[in-house]
Structure formats: structure tokens, C-alpha cells
Amino acid sequence: MLERLISNPQSGQIIHSNIHKPFNFKCPNDVINKEDAAFDNIKMIPCQSANAYDLDYYKSDMNGIYPNFTSPRGLALIINNHRFKSMSDRTGTDVDKENLRILFRKLDYKTVEYTDLTGQEMLSTIKGFGRLEEHKTYHSTIVCVLTHGDNNALVGVDDNKVDVNEFIATLNNGNCPNLSQKPKLFFIQACRGGKI
């Protein structure tokens, strides 16, 4: 059985739910103005983050669960490309970015945000992000890219492409020792070309 652990930084509670149960996240259109957006169908287990290591379900499968109890949990990088040199602007992307920023802060991640990067700037940004010393003290990281895309490529605002595998590999254990053996979550909102 897989389990989901989410922390509520205001109350210090750990939110726990089983993944095999229905999980409905309600995200109203005006979530930007609602700092109290709720997670439905999640069981609350009172616990301070410092005591999370003592939870029975964690102790019973310590080797199968990544610890993710630091506060903040880690850094969340958001790259949001809106206006492009020759491709259409990505309308609505700023709302998506703002919703991600709010969500990650609620999940106790520290956000780092960039807007309208060229292909080269996206690659240098992810490399620089991987070199941040803060990663040593945190348990995980998140990377979100909102941009145009093509077959296995991210497109910068200058229409130059970055290979998705090269982009992701910048944070692997060999290239980014500060994130070695830690969960790295990548979310890419981009087309993958017309043939897919």
C-alpha cells in the first residue's frame, strides 16, 4: 500500500492518505485569492514534523519511504515562459504559475521563480538551481516548467530548444550531489510535438 504524506506548516500536522483511495483535489478558479484551499478525502493525523520519524507506518517501511520532513521540505523551481519570439503567447500560464506557487508554499516548499527564459537560460537556470547549497539541508525538490514544447524538447522564448533528458539529468545523483538519494519531482507543462 502506498501512502501520501503532506505537511500543514501552520498547524504542524502531517496529512496522511492512502493513494489507492479516491483523491479529489478541489482547486477553484479563484484559488489565488483563497489561501485556505482544501484537500478533500485526506485523513489528518496529528503530529509534529519532528515526531514524524516515530509514526508506526513510517517505522514499518523506513526503507520504502523517502523521509520528507524538513521545514521547508525543499526548493520548488518554477520556470514560466509566457511571451515568445515567434510562437504564440501562452495565455493563462501566469495563473497556472501563481496556483503552483501557492500550492508549493502550502506544501511547505520554498519557491524560486523565473519568467520568460531563452533555451540557454533554462539550461543554465536548472544547473544553477542544482548547485544551491540549500539542497543539502532539505529532503526533496520540485521543478515545474511551463513552456512550449516539441518532440522531447522544451522551447525557450527565443525558440531555441532544450532536450528534456538533458534538462532533467542536471539534477541526477552524479551532477547534483546535494540532491543525491533525495526525491526530485519534475512537472512539465508543454506540448510534445504534433506527431504524439
Cβ neighbours of residue 34 closer than 8 Å, sequence gap 6 or more: 28
Cβ neighbours of residue 121 closer than 8 Å, sequence gap 6 or more: 114, 156
Q: Quick one: CA dihedral 54, 58, 61, 66, positive or negative?
A: negative
Among residues 47, 144, 148, 176, the one annotated as catalytic is: 148
* Pairwise CA distance, residues 172 & 194, whole Å: 29
Query: Does the active-site annotation cover 135?
Result: no
Number of H-type helices and E-type strands within the chain: 4, 10
Sheet holding 3-8, edge to edge: 3-8, 13-18, 43-45
Query: Does the active-site annotation cover 47?
Result: no
For 129, phi then psi, to 5°, come to -60, -40
The residues annotated with a catalytic role in the active site are 148, 191
